[in-house]
Structure 1
């Protein structure tokens, strides 16, 4: 394992974060804080507790999960797409570094950024609502698994995309709507019976539910099932990345 190469790419990607601090960190935190103000304070004051938790506190795990998924995808997809766009990807592919090391460095940097943002938003949320973390280890586990999985997913999107518009296609048209419809702002049992069953086909439900359970001990679905779902998605992304590098899909042409 070429740890020097991994560290070099990782440090380069992290340095880009500090050079674009407002876009990478400040902007997502401000956007999420507006959700706390609008939904947590303005609307939350008119809604009773959900599952024994104040509405403002109830939506925090879902908003953090939204940030983890969208930022993980955005950071990883741009990181690998930009070398393709300017043509330096061929230098990377011909360098004495394996495909595994390339994935570890790019995905690791993107996951670090999204996890860092998640923790910053968690600290910011504590200024607006009273938070409690019933299962801190499980909270960190879901945080890390989600960051890594969706950064890997973003890495795949970055390889698949052949223009900048496609980089935003999946996050804007698929991931964000699924998150809003995945129990971020409501409990699944608040829906009519038919829609409860339909909602269970939304994979984001399991991520939000498991993450919320780590905070308040309440969940819409089994915590074990939530872990299985995120693990299956992670394994699927790893298998797809392996196929991409084995075949050279959109890398060698």
Structure 2
């Protein structure tokens, strides 16, 4: 393993985040705080408790997951797309560094930035509502697993996209709607049976449910199922990245 090369890619991507701190950290925290204030004030005044948890505290895991998914994809997709756009990707491909090391560098940096953002949002939410984390180790596991998985997904999008517009296509039209419909601001048990069954087809439901379980010890689906679905999506993303490097898809053209 060429760790100096991995470290160089990782530190370069992290340095880019510090140069754009307002966009990378401040803006998502403000946006999430606005979600919290609006939903907490508008809905929380009418729906005070959900499954024994105050509504303001109930939506915190969903808000963190919303930011984690979108920022992981954005960080990783832009990180690998820009070298392709500028042509510097050929310098990386011709260097004595393997595809595994390239992925670790880019995905590791994207996941690190998303995890930091998630922790900052968690600390910000604690200023608004009293929080409890019943299973902190499981919370950390879901946080890291989700950040790594969707950073890999963003890496795939960054290789697939042939324009800046496509970088926003999947997050805006697919991931964000699925997150809003995945129980981020409500429990799917509140839905009619038919709609609850349909919601179970949404993979984000399992991520939000598992993450919420780590906070309050209860979720919409069993925590084992949530964990299995998260690992399944991770394996799918790893398979896609492996195939792209083996075939040179959008890397050599």
Same fold judged by TM-score > 0.5? Answer: yes
- Can you list the C-alpha shifts for 1:79-108, whole angstroms capped at 9, x where unaligned? 000000011111110001110000000000
Q: Equivalents in 2 of 1:111, 1:13: separation in Å?
A: 11
Given the two structures, how large is their TM-score scaled by the length of structure 2?
0.99
Which whole-Å CA distance do the structure 1 matches of 2:128 and 2:117 have between them?
A: 17
- The reply on whether 1:248 has 2:248 as its aligned counterpart is yes
- For 2:196, the equivalent position in structure 1 comes to 196
Q: Describe the SS at the equivalent of 2:15.
A: helix
TM-score (norm 1): 0.99
Cα distance between partner residues in 2 of 1:116 and 1:48: 30
Give 1:15 shift: 0.3
1:201: how far off?
Answer: 0.3
Q: Could you say what secondary structure the match of 1:184 adopts?
A: coil
Give the aligned partner of residue 5 of structure 2: 5
The match for 2:229 is 229
1:122 — aligned with what? Answer: 122
Report the alpha carbon displacement of residue 61 of structure 1 after superposing the two structures with TM.
0.2
Which range moves more in the overlay, 101-110 or 39-48? 39-48
User: Could you report, residue by residue, the CA deviation over 1:130-184 in whole angstroms, capped at 9, with x for unpaired residues?
Assistant: 1000000000000000000000000000000000000000000000000000000
Distance 2:127 2:200 in 1: 32
CA-CA distance at 1:46 after TM superposition: 2.0
CA distance in 2: counterparts of 1:105 and 1:168, whole angstroms: 22
What residue number does 1:26 align with?
A: 26
Partner Cα distance (1:60, 1:37) in 2 = 11
What CA distance in whole angstroms lies between the structure 2 residues aligned with 1:193 and 1:242?
39
CA RMSD in angstroms comes to 0.6
Give how far 1:36 is off: 1.1
Deviation at 1:218, TM superposition (A): 1.1
Query: What is the CA distance between 1:230 and its match in structure 2?
Result: 0.4
In structure 1, the residue matched to 2:150 is 150
* Map of 2:238 onto structure 1: 238
> Structure 2: 5+ residue runs without aligned partners?
none
The 1-side partners of 2:37 and 2:66 are apart by 16
The equivalent of 1:51 in structure 2 is: 51
1:49 Cα offset (Å): 0.5
Q: Figure out how many residues of one structure are paired with residues of the other and give that number.
A: 253
- CA deviation after TM superposition for structure 1 residue 40, in Å: 1.4
- Mapped to 2, the partners of 1:236 and 1:130 lie a distance apart of 37
The 4+ residue runs of structure 1 with deviation greater than 3 A are none
